[in-house]
Amino acid sequence: MKTIEKKEIKSISFNQLKKELEEMGEKEFRSKQIYEWIHVKLIDSFDEMTNLSKDLRERLKERYELSPLKMLEVQTSKVDGTQKFLFGCSDGHVVESVLMGYHHGNSVCISSQVGCRMGCTFCASTIGGLTRNLSPGEMLSQVYQIQKYSGKRVSNLVLMGTGEPLDNYDHVIQFVQMLSDQHGLHISQRNMTVSTCGLAPKIRELAKEGLQITLALSLHATTDEKRRKLMPIAKRYDLKEILEACDFYFETTGRRMTFEYGLVAGVNDRSEDAEELIRLVKHKNCHINLIPINPIKERDYVQSTKSDVEKFKNKLEKCGINVTIRREMGRDIDGACGQLRKRYMDLPLKGEQ
Ligand code: SAH
């Protein structure tokens, strides 16, 4: 007998759940109760829904799957308390997320895809290519499980883990809407950042969604030639097209853009690069985030020296540009994107563990 695949209930929006419960012959207040169990109380089994009858819980179990991710491993940094989590999906794939404590709150960095097909040459997440998109429920599960495990309220979210969020567009939009939904954790969209390598048409589409999120563009280079060497996606959309899309994003949403600039020694951290960057952004209302590149063992990129990073920053600051250096968190725990997952996948006999 062929088993019927169950629908994943965490991916269902508040309004959709109401409809589905109605179809099951249930009153409206039931869907509210169920949504609250899943998205506020963050339970992991239908049996914990103690204000529902046993019969309804059984019918829900027949139709829906509730826990799409299982926590497999947690690493805690001895340096700054940053925690890195490895989750297993129902189909055996693994994804990773990070919890960082800042003075302004607790920030979670989540993955949007299993693997990535963008091919950035400095990034560990893309080495095995793209396996599949994550569902909204799998993205929510990363946040929920981290909040439950740590006992800390998650206040900020960045989509900077494995994957290209705008390559999983519909699921990411639904995830953002559900995470900010007043019936759920109700995290402010203003505290969410979606980072993209620069899918220009999708940036324009995102601008029109009516969201309040921050958009971060992974810029990393100031000429098309250099950018193409670091990021294959730059062959599809050149800097002019991407920066115009970013301007459109700012004009449409009123949200200030962030440009991420990963500093690689000798590649893009020279004085000329800073000057070129100033030329590109000086008339924009934006924030520059300098990221000392995290070396990965598969590539021979070298992180810029502390003094070169400072020099680069000072140059921008002198021209009145809003710039910060990203604090390196969790250096001692496979800090860079995709490294924990990569290490896990490289383990011999991982299937049997
Ligand atoms: N695909 C999206 C989001 C995921 S990557 C994007 O490209 O923006 C999140 C950020 O980490 C991006 O700015 C990415 O370029 C950067 N990143 C990837 N590998 C890195 C590494 N080894 N060191 C530092 N930053 C890295």
Q: Please write the tens of the pLDDT for every residue from 142-190.
A: 999 999 999 999 999 999 999 999 999 999 999 999 999 999 999 999 9
CA angle 88–57–177, rounded 5-degree value? 55
The residue contributing the CA closest to ligand 1 atom 9 is 160
What pLDDT score does 347 carry?
66
The reply to whether ligand 1 has any atom less than 6 angstroms from the CB of 43 is: no
- Ligand 1 atom showing the smallest separation from residue 260 Cα: 13
Torsion angle of the four alpha carbons 282, 287, 292, 296, in this order, in degrees rounded to the nearest 10: -110
Judge if pTM exceeds 0.75.
yes
The residue contributing the CA closest to ligand 1 atom 4 is 160
In Å, how far are 11, 84, 124, 253, 330 from 162, measured between CA atoms?
A: 19, 13, 9, 26, 16
Q: Please write the tens of the pLDDT for every residue from 41-76.
A: 999 999 999 999 999 999 999 999 999 999 999 999
Q: Please write the tens of the pLDDT for every residue from 280-294.
A: 999 999 999 999 998
Distance CA(138)–CA(318), nearest Å, equals: 43
For the annotated catalytic residues, the residue numbers are 96, 337
Substitution site in 109, 337, 340, 341 for ligand 1 pocket (most atoms within 8 Å of beta carbon): 337
CB atoms within 10 A of CB 337: 25
E-strand ranges in the chain read: 7-8, 64-65, 69-76, 83-89, 94-102, 105-109, 113-115, 130-133, 154-159, 192-196, 214-218, 257-263, 286-292, 323-325
What pLDDT score does 352 carry?
35
Nearest to 154 by CA among 165, 164, 166, 146: 146
Whether 35 shows a pLDDT value over 60: the answer reads yes
The reply to whether ligand 1 has any atom less than 6 angstroms from the CB of 112 is: no
The reply to whether ligand 1 has any atom less than 6 angstroms from the CB of 122 is: yes
Contact criterion met (CB below 8 Å) for 196 and 202: yes
- Ligand 1 atom showing the smallest separation from residue 197 Cα: 7
